[in-house]
Chain A
């Protein structure tokens, strides 16, 4: 049974994306290409996953956070400050992030 949870965050960049979630705690480890990176917050080493990811979602942070600044420069869709994110997303969940509204849809198949 499909379950959809809608969360609200702050957009870092006016770009949208969708894909499967990969939950990351160490940005220095490789990730599978084409996924949405889900993490509690971003540090400067988030740059190591930005070229493989199609999008980024962070539970903490705001438009001036490391991840947001890097996402804008790299042109990667990114939503920050999504309360409750880490308790909702499971690995490989489908995620759609809306770069206009800051909305994050988490879909569990």
Chain B
């Protein structure tokens, strides 16, 4: 059971983390934050739908808890446009944070840079490739991990970690090492991108583990790895696993050529996808973001109920302007503490 003080604490950490993220993001051109142009779809109807969906559900452990933080991030506009009273806003934020709390080791929004998940590979079962592995396999795994991240950033308009999650660090059983994992799922979100008939031949899920000889491996608020070491040079061991289909077993990939083939497929998908994104107006990107957010809600509740219901996407366009501006304005805009100041004080 969490108290208003717990939520206020997490919101304070969220605001600090957001300030840090916004100060370092290159969002101005790529982020389609034209939320008001989507009308109520990204405003009141979104937050009301999320609120309704989560009201009767107990928080469950998520493989990708950053999904809930992303949903919180893109609920900011809706929370304001819906003009809820403070207590209702507080409940909304707390429900989302509860999903994060039960999915992570440590606080929902840590300030120490770790992003350790409850659901992960047990260290002893990670199928490390041969410790004397060939350099080409290690390089292939790093290229694949980077491409996976770029792909999911584009697929979800920077709402990464809906499809992939980089997490850790976890202790290594080798001296002086840190293990980080990157897991990916839902790599062919056809329900979000009907324009692309031919998606790459990607597996249902992928898991990569990296054992690096490094001092620290911090993560930002949205689980971006912020280590400053050269990942490709300090990696000592890697493991690559795939699940071909939802009902198929997880298999180990130990052939660099096979990893390279998956990388090529991902890059082919990325190129296709970016062409579609380029063709969308700000409003259409914002409306697509609405679908992405409903897909995030699906992940939280465990079915496709919400992303299959598209009625919200046709709502009238609101009068608002594109949310953009100087860093100070953006930091202020995403600082939800102002929404809860009276509740926290109480």
Residues of A participating in the B interface, judged by any CB pair closer than 8 Å = 11-15, 28, 41-48, 50-51, 58, 60-70, 72-75, 80
Question: Known: A14-B229, A14-B230, A44-B154. Is A65-B25 also a contact (CB below 8 A)?
Answer: yes
Question: Known: A45-B270, A61-B25, A73-B142. Is A66-B228 also a contact (CB below 8 A)?
Answer: no
Give complex CA distance A13, B270 in Å.
24
Does chain A have a CB within 8 A of B335?
A: no
Select B25's contact among A11, A45, A62, A75, beta carbons within 8 Å: A62
Select A75's contact among B29, B220, B231, beta carbons within 8 Å: B231
In the complex, chain B residues whose CB is within 8 Å of the CB of A80 = 26
Select A63's contact among B228, B231, B267, beta carbons within 8 Å: B228
Could you tell me if B231 and A45 are in contact, using CB atoms closer than 8 angstroms?
A: no
Segment at the interface with A among B46-54, B92-100, B119-127, B143-151: B143-151
Could you tell me if B228 and A64 are in contact, using CB atoms closer than 8 angstroms?
A: no
Given A58-B26, A72-B229, 4 further pairs, Cβ under 8 A: A11-B228, A44-B30, A44-B153, A73-B145
Q: Which 8 A-B pairs have the closest CB atoms?
A: A62-B24, A75-B232, A73-B146, A64-B24, A61-B26, A44-B150, A41-B26, A65-B26
Could you tell me if B229 and A66 are in contact, using CB atoms closer than 8 angstroms?
A: no
Interface size on B, residues (CB 8 A): 34
In the complex, chain B residues whose CB is within 8 Å of the CB of A58 = 26
In the complex, chain B residues whose CB is within 8 Å of the CB of A42 = 26
Does chain A have a CB within 8 A of B23?
A: yes
In the complex, chain A residues whose CB is within 8 Å of the CB of B154 = 44-45
**How many A-B pairs fall under 8 Å by CB?**
99
In the complex, chain A residues whose CB is within 8 Å of the CB of B226 = 63-64
Could you tell me if B25 and A72 are in contact, using CB atoms closer than 8 angstroms?
A: no
Does chain A have a CB within 8 A of B21?
A: yes
Select A60's contact among B20, B26, B142, B274, beta carbons within 8 Å: B26
Select B227's contact among A15, A65, A67, A72, beta carbons within 8 Å: A72
Select B149's contact among A43, A61, A73, beta carbons within 8 Å: A73
Could you tell me if A69 and B149 are in contact, using CB atoms closer than 8 angstroms?
A: yes
Does chain A have a CB within 8 A of B177?
A: no
Give complex CA distance A103, B224 in Å.
24
Looking at the assembled complex, report how far the CB atom of B136 sits from the nearest CB atom of chain A, in whole angstroms: 13
**Closest B residue to A48 using CB positions:** B267
**Closest B residue to A62 using CB positions:** B24
In the complex, chain A residues whose CB is within 8 Å of the CB of B271 = 28, 45, 48
In the complex, chain A residues whose CB is within 8 Å of the CB of B267 = 47-48
Could you tell me if A72 and B26 are in contact, using CB atoms closer than 8 angstroms?
A: no
Residues of B participating in the A interface, judged by any CB pair closer than 8 Å = 20-21, 23-26, 28-30, 142-143, 145-147, 149-151, 153-154, 220, 224-233, 267, 270-271, 274
Select A45's contact among B145, B150, B220, beta carbons within 8 Å: B150
Looking at the assembled complex, report how far the CB atom of B137 sits from the nearest CB atom of chain A, in whole angstroms: 15
Select A13's contact among B142, B149, B230, beta carbons within 8 Å: B230
Could you tell me if A74 and B26 are in contact, using CB atoms closer than 8 angstroms?
A: no
**Closest A residue to B227 using CB positions:** A72
Question: Known: A15-B230, A73-B145. Is A45-B24 also a contact (CB below 8 A)?
Answer: no
29 A-B pairs (CB sep. < 8 Å)? A13-B229, A15-B230, A41-B29, A42-B26, A43-B29, A44-B154, A44-B270, A45-B150, A45-B274, A47-B146, A47-B150, A51-B143, A62-B24, A63-B226, A64-B220, A64-B226, A65-B24, A67-B26, A72-B227, A72-B229, A72-B231, A73-B145, A73-B225, A74-B143, A74-B146, A74-B232, A75-B231, A75-B232, A80-B26
B142, B146, B226: most-surrounded residue (chain A CB, <10 A)? B146
In the complex, chain A residues whose CB is within 8 Å of the CB of B26 = 41-43, 58, 60-62, 65-67, 80
Looking at the assembled complex, report how far the CB atom of A68 sits from the nearest CB atom of chain B, in whole angstroms: 8
Give complex CA distance A70, B28 in Å.
18
In the complex, chain B residues whose CB is within 8 Å of the CB of A62 = 23-26
Looking at the assembled complex, report how far the CB atom of B91 sits from the nearest CB atom of chain A, in whole angstroms: 30
In the complex, chain B residues whose CB is within 8 Å of the CB of A63 = 24, 226, 228
Select A70's contact among B29, B149, B227, B230, beta carbons within 8 Å: B149
